[in-house]
């Protein structure tokens, strides 16, 4: 392949570019933002929020950029074993599990190091500009049109590519670009979640020795009751805590710092109470809203141009509470690698890629939407078998509090190391039943 064109240079675009640099003479990344920054960027407004890197995300980053995790840690990121991750459900601290790691660092910090490593590859370059359409040659995509920084439509330019990768995130315009050229847009499935996020940084002192990360979850609310706050916190570079509160609909947290501290103090989880009571808030509370979880199902199309794939949030963007985004993006890069290595022709639609990526998307979607559907304001779509899945998942979650084996399964699935089917494996179901029977007897 002569040129691979990657539209969007955030985490998914960078990882795709890394993979493509092994297969193309030249890889060109086009992004509307100035990528030469370690700070905020308008193209990715969620950069200011806590971004935990799931265990699978760490493994995949390390696969494509060997030594990266060590470099992040040397620069100040906090890599912790799971026993330093305190998890709570309905105010009860869960049993510890082992063998998994979590990286605590701000998202710009992680991304800037990934970017540095990818752009250090000789055949990868960046062009600054806003992509506004695809170029077609017959039945294949052969490039993209873009507006360089400051140019109007008369200044539109084009870039050629033998393979074009859409990595423009959840608001991707790929469907519109395809339709404009007479192709079908991939069907877009949306689940309205109406989520609100608030994040604040705190100075870390001597409080909470032995804790680097904490998470506070609640069971689904009873009928007529509002959902409790979900919260997560992590130690990040620079000796700071990053704390996030999330809730839905009219319970969304605001940017009021007093409200933030009060809500942290009311959580049934000691680490949040400690930070709210003892640590100094640094800067302002930042908020963000996520209207829906969404996925584009390319496999449901009967026709698709050759020379085009999509990665990252452009394929599927989930409720961020589950922290699956960056790990998914790295797995999509691995799917792209497997596709390119399979020898399937680039002169045909990349069905082999979309088949692989669908496995990753289905697994992440299954997990995150099961939790979302339990919220009273979420109205579907409900998948077949939802009532049983929801009944079982409540019991499964209750068993994660006391049973180390069940919690290990939960942690492995949540970290995308295992497929969600592990949750209903007969040995897991048996273990859940035993844990709950034991609890009833003890109670």
Residues that bind ligand FAD (CB under 6 A): 7-13, 30-33, 43-44, 46, 49-52, 130-131, 167-169, 197, 288, 290, 312-314, 320, 323, 325-327, 329
Residue 255 C-beta: closest distance to ligand FAD, Å = 14
Residue 265 C-beta: closest distance to ligand FAD, Å = 22
Nearer to ligand FAD, 191 or 398 (CB): 191
Nearer to ligand FAD, 44 or 97 (CB): 44
Answer whether 158's CB lies under 8 Å from 30's CB: no
Nearer to ligand FAD, 329 or 336 (CB): 329
CA–CA distance, 311 with 336 (Å, rounded to integer): 9
Residue 315 C-beta: closest distance to ligand FAD, Å = 8
How many other CB atoms are there within 10 angstroms of residue 249's CB atom? 16
CA–CA distance, 198 with 48 (Å, rounded to integer): 10
**Per-residue tokens: 313:** 């949030």
Torsion of CA 62, 66, 69, 75, to 10 degrees: -150
Nearer to ligand FAD, 46 or 80 (CB): 46
Between the two ends of the chain, the Cα-to-Cα distance in Å is 65
Nearer to ligand FAD, 363 or 435 (CB): 363
Residue 290 C-beta: closest distance to ligand FAD, Å = 5
Residue 317 C-beta: closest distance to ligand FAD, Å = 6
CA–CA distance, 29 with 402 (Å, rounded to integer): 48
Nearer to ligand FAD, 170 or 431 (CB): 170
Question: Which alpha helices (DSSP H) does 288-385 contain, by range?
Answer: 325-341, 351-373
Nearer to ligand FAD, 84 or 130 (CB): 130
Nearest to 238 by CA among 18, 78, 358: 78
Residue 146 C-beta: closest distance to ligand FAD, Å = 7
Lookup result for tokens 């069971």: 219
Residue 175 C-beta: closest distance to ligand FAD, Å = 13
Angle at alpha carbon of residue 202, lines to 201 and 205, rounded to 5°:
150
Burial class (CB in 10 A: 0-12, 13-18, 19+), 16: buried
């Amino acid at each position: 392949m002569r040129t691979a064109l990657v539209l969007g240079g955030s985490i998914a675009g960078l990882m795709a570019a890394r993979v493509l640099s092994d297969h193309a003479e030249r890889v060109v990344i086009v992004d509307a933002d100035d990528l030469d920054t370690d700070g905020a960027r308008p193209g990715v407004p969620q950069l200011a929020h806590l971004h935990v890197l799931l265990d699978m995300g760490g493994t995949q980053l390390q696969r494509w950029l060997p030594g990266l995790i060590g470099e992040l840690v040397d620069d100040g990121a906090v890599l912790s074993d799971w026993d330093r991750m305190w998890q709570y459900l309905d105010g009860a601290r869960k049993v510890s599990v082992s063998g998994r790691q979590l990286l605590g660092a701000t998202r710009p910090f992680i991304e800037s190091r990934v970017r540095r490593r990818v752009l250090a590859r000789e055949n990868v370059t960046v062009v600054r500009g806003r992509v506004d359409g695809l170029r077609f040659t017959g039945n294949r995509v052969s490039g993209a049109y873009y507006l360089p920084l400051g140019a109007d439509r008369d200044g539109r330019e084009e870039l050629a590519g033998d393979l074009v990768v859409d990595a423009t995130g959840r608001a991707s315009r790929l469907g519109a670009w395809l339709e404009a050229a007479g192709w079908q847009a991939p069907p877009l499935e949306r689940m309205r979640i109406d989520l609100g996020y608030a994040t604040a940084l705190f100075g870390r002192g001597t409080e909470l020795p032995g804790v680097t990360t904490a998470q506070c979850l609640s069971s689904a609310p009873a009928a007529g009751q509002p959902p409790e706050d979900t919260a997560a916190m992590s130690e990040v570079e620079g000796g700071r805590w990053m704390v996030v509160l999330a809730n839905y609909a009219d319970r969304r947290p605001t940017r009021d710092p007093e409200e933030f501290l009060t809500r942290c103090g009311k959580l049934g989880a000691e680490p949040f109470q400690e930070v709210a009571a003892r640590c100094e808030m640094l800067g302002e509370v930042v908020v963000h809203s996520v209207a829906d979880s969404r996925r584009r199902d390319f496999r449901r199309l009967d026709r698709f141009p050759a020379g085009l794939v999509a990665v990252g949030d452009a394929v599927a963007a989930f409720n961020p509470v589950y922290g699956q985004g960056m790990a998914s993006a790295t797995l999509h890069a691995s799917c792209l690698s497997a596709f390119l290595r399979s020898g399937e022709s680039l002169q045909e639609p990349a069905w082999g890629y979309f088949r692989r990526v669908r496995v990753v998307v289905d697994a992440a979607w299954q997990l995150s939407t099961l939790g979302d559907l339990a919220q009273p304001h979420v109205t579907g779509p409900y998948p077949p078998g939802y009532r049983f899945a929801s009944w079982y998942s409540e019991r499964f979650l209750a068993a994660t509090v006391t049973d180390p084996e069940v919690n290990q399964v939960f942690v492995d699935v949540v970290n995308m190391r295992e497929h969600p089917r592990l949750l209903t494996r007969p040995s897991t179901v048996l273990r859940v039943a035993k844990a709950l029977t034991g609890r009833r007897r003890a109670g």
